[in-house]
Amino acid sequence: MAQADVGKSHRGGILVSRPALNEERLASLLAFLGVTQLALGASMAIAPGTFFNAIADYGTRNDHYLRDISTFYLALGVLLLGAAKRPRWRVPILAFAALQYALHSINHLIDIGNGDPGWIGPLNFVSLALFTALLAYALRAAAASR
């Protein structure tokens, strides 16, 4: 099967699967996911103070630690871009990324009221949860295409 089956439709009284992501769309989604991680990692590495003030003010600022964390996002971005071109990489990389983002989302849910300004905690949690869902969707499509 070259594409994920998500959803069903009736065609002539027969229930048939309809493709959610074909190979080209899945590769494009993986490239998008990779570029987002590279952008996130680069912003943390190049301007940790700006990143902290805009997104990550949950206490004391530590530029070294932010740059350390940026290396994770940069590496994940490279791997996701690689998976866009290498189908055999997709399931393990997406499984890891979805798990990491799910755990990251839980951490933000725990600290949802600790961000400054106060609205940043809920916004970060929702954005992380949505990105987790997008990774899980891509994982499902990649697994179905194997």
Tens place of pLDDT per residue across the chain (146 aa): 444 444 554 555 665 454 568 999 999 999 999 999 999 999 999 999 999 999 999 999 999 999 999 999 999 999 999 999 999 999 999 999 999 999 999 999 999 999 999 999 999 999 999 999 999 999 999 999 87
- The answer to the question of residue 17 being in a domain is no
Q: Which of 27, 17, 20, 16 has the alpha carbon at shortest distance from 3? A: 20
Read off the pTM. Answer: 0.84
Residue-level pLDDT at 2: 45
- The answer to the question of residue 2 being in a domain is no
H or E segment to which residue 7 belongs = strand 5-11
Q: Which domain holds residue 116?
A: 23-144
- The answer to the question of residue 85 being in a domain is yes
Using N-to-C axis directions, what is the helix angle for 23-46 and 87-110, rounded to 10°? 50
Amino acid at 123: L
- Using an 8 Å Cβ cutoff, are 36 and 84 in contact? no
Beta bridge partners of 19: 5
Residues in the chain: 146
How many separate domains does the chain show? 1
Residue-level pLDDT at 13: 60
Residue-level pLDDT at 21: 82
Q: Outline where 9-62 has alpha helix (H).
A: 23-46, 48-54
What distance separates the 2 farthest-apart alpha carbons in the chain?
A: 62
